[in-house]
Amino acid sequence: MPSAEELYRRYREKDQVLRQVRKQIKHNRQERPVRQRDWTPDDDEDWEDMEVARSERVLPRGEQERRKAMWDMALKRLAEEEQSGEKGQAEAGPALAAEERTTGPRRGVVVEVSTGLCRVDVQGEIVLCTVRGSLSVAESGFTNVVAVGDEVTVLLDGAGRGVVQSVLPRRSALTRPDVFSPHLQQVIVANADQLLAVASWRNPALWPELLDRYLIAAERHSLQSIICLNKVDLADSRQECLAALEPYTRLGYRTVLASAVTGEGVAELRELLGGRTTILAGLSGVGKSSLLSAVQPGLKLRIAEVSARRHEGRHTTTQVNLLKLEMGGQVVDTPGIREFGLSGLHRSELARFYPEIAAVAGCRFANCSHIHEPGCAVRMAVREGRLSAVRYDSYCKIRKTLPET
Ligand code: GDP
Ligand code: ZN
């Protein structure tokens, strides 16, 4: 039985195959005219454009199938290599293998998922697993059996591979409409506790609408939210940062002012992340990786890949990475949350996620949208400064992007 380190190294090497395929996909795409998205806060169309179903429709004919085939091919190659490697080891160390076989099912946490395969952390050892065929998706109501973060039982085969036997009940599930069957849900991350929404004071500037989308997404998936405002070293004063976050602190959100440059807020983040599973959200460039490596030196997000995928923008798989923290807990890095967080939400439900708006009484019409109606108490409150104009503004912007019914 090779050491955990050795196994991990081998899996990483095999990851190169997948990376090459991704590179190839990206390369191929660059030769065609691609609609480039410019991620600026003022672009009202962004959200609709990122909506999964829509984005899939703009794929060139056959592109989706072609990518899927390439992906499958890469995985098949991975699995074959793994299997032949396995034979070699079995011959080399039959005694150890036999001993391992007698240990029975082990508990583990899924750290990475690709079609039909996953990597499971079994007491610190990363094991490539298939999923038992009889595990059914139908009863779970989701289109995937295992997701990153799932606690599973694994039967090890003694040669560094395993089979997922069962998935333990989930405490939470971050879901999105399935890419291929949008009426069904796909679990992106299981068992997360909280969401860390990272924004930056400048470069890029704080974008309240995006922040609100994260908060709504978290609320809808029963996750606690923490708001981290990074790059406060670039602000003229702490006061202006605190003032920008005031509507959120007033609502009871935990907020952290941070700077990866000066180290401000890093200890606080460390404390908030310890022992929990945290989904990381935030625009590219706000300083997520800088903050994480300040929290734990050496911890790396796969930024390059993530941003490549986002510019590609039409992906069929959502890359999710689980990063283990030394102090316990883990951080989940997924580019997906901004695009699926609000799927299925209707206009009339939005005010529910703005408690300060929902709390305003006295609109002339009971079903007031607070946008244009005469006698709207919400707009009155905004005019009089009793309600945050910034929050109201993002309410209006988000509402516009939601379906009527
Ligand atoms: P990510 O895309 O969210 O992971 O962002 P990065 O961590 O890659 O940071 C993007 C850029 O912002 C880099 O050039 C960092 O050096 C810079 N940066 C990150 N944190 C801070 C900060 O607190 N203050 C300042 N001034 N720059 C920062
Ligand atoms: Zn109203």
DSSP β-bridge partners for residue 225 = 195
Q: Are strands 277-281 and 330-333 parallel, antiparallel or unpaired?
A: parallel
Residue 51 has pLDDT above 60, yes or no: no
- Give the range among 31-35, 65-69, 291-295, 392-396 with minimum mean pLDDT: 31-35
**Rounded Cα gap, residues 203 and 182, in angstroms:** 35
> How confident is the model at residue 75, as a pLDDT?
55
Residue with CA closest to ligand 1 atom 22: 231
Residue 276 in contact with residue 329, Cβ under 8 Å? yes
**Rounded Cα gap, residues 332 and 316, in angstroms:** 19
Residue 17 has pLDDT above 60, yes or no: no
Q: Which of 217, 228, 225, 153 is nearest to 188 (CA)?
A: 217
pLDDT tens profile 312-368: 433 344 578 888 899 999 999 876 666 667 888 999 999 999 999 999 999 999 999
Residue 199 is encoded by which pair of tokens?
């924004």
Better pLDDT: 320 or 112 = 112
Residue 198 in contact with residue 282, Cβ under 8 Å? yes
Ligand 2 geometric centre to CA of 386 (Å) = 14
**Rounded Cα gap, residues 154 and 167, in angstroms:** 9
Question: Whose atoms come closest to the Cα of 258: which ligand?
Answer: 1
Distance from chain centroid for Cα 400: 24
φ, ψ (nearest 5 deg) of residue 368: -55, 135
Q: How confident is the model at residue 90 (pLDDT cuts 50, 70, 90)?
A: very low
Residue 244 in contact with residue 231, Cβ under 8 Å? no
What rounded mean pLDDT belongs to the chain?
78
Q: How confident is the model at residue 311 (pLDDT cuts 50, 70, 90)?
A: very low
- Give the range among 8-22, 99-113, 363-377 with minimum mean pLDDT: 8-22
Half-sphere exposure of 345 (CA within 13 A, CB side): 24
> How confident is the model at residue 70, as a pLDDT?
54
pLDDT tens profile 221-276: 889 999 999 999 999 999 999 999 999 999 999 999 999 999 999 999 999 999 99
**Rounded Cα gap, residues 33 and 31, in angstroms:** 7
Ligand 1 geometric centre to CA of 394 (Å) = 25
287 Cβ inside 6 Å of ligand 1: yes
> How confident is the model at residue 46, as a pLDDT?
35
Portion of the chain with pLDDT greater than 70, in percent = 68
290 Cβ inside 6 Å of ligand 1: yes
Identify which of 41-45, 49-53, 101-105, 244-248 has the greatest average pLDDT.
Answer: 244-248
Ligand 1 pocket test, candidate residues 290, 296, 331, 337, most atoms within 8 A of CB: 290
> How confident is the model at residue 318, as a pLDDT?
59
Across the range 150-156, mean pLDDT stands at 95
Q: How confident is the model at residue 99 (pLDDT cuts 50, 70, 90)?
A: very low
Please report, to the nearest 10 degrees, the dihedral formed by the alpha carbons of residues 354, 355, 358, 361 taken in order.
-140
Ligand 1 geometric centre to CA of 198 (Å) = 11
Query: DSSP letters of 239-252?
Result: HHHHHHHHHHHHTT
> How confident is the model at residue 186, as a pLDDT?
85
Question: Whose atoms come closest to the Cα of 368: which ligand?
Answer: 2
- Give the range among 132-136, 189-193, 211-215 with minimum mean pLDDT: 132-136
Across the range 9-38, mean pLDDT stands at 52
Ranges of H-type helices in 251-347: 266-273, 288-295, 303-312, 337-340
Portion of the chain with pLDDT greater than 90, in percent = 52
Across the range 130-141, mean pLDDT stands at 73
> How confident is the model at residue 71, as a pLDDT?
54
Length of the chain: 405
If you ran DSSP here, which 8-state letter would residue 106 be given?
E
| Rg, the chain, Cα only | 23
Question: Whose atoms come closest to the Cα of 382: which ligand?
Answer: 2
- Give the range among 36-40, 205-209, 318-322 with minimum mean pLDDT: 36-40
Across the range 167-178, mean pLDDT stands at 88
> How confident is the model at residue 86, as a pLDDT?
47
> How confident is the model at residue 56, as a pLDDT?
36
DSSP β-bridge partners for residue 279 = 195, 332
Better pLDDT: 55 or 337 = 337
Please report, to the nearest 10 degrees, the dihedral formed by the alpha carbons of residues 353, 358, 363, 366 taken in order.
70
Residue with CA closest to ligand 1 atom 9: 287
Better pLDDT: 182 or 50 = 182
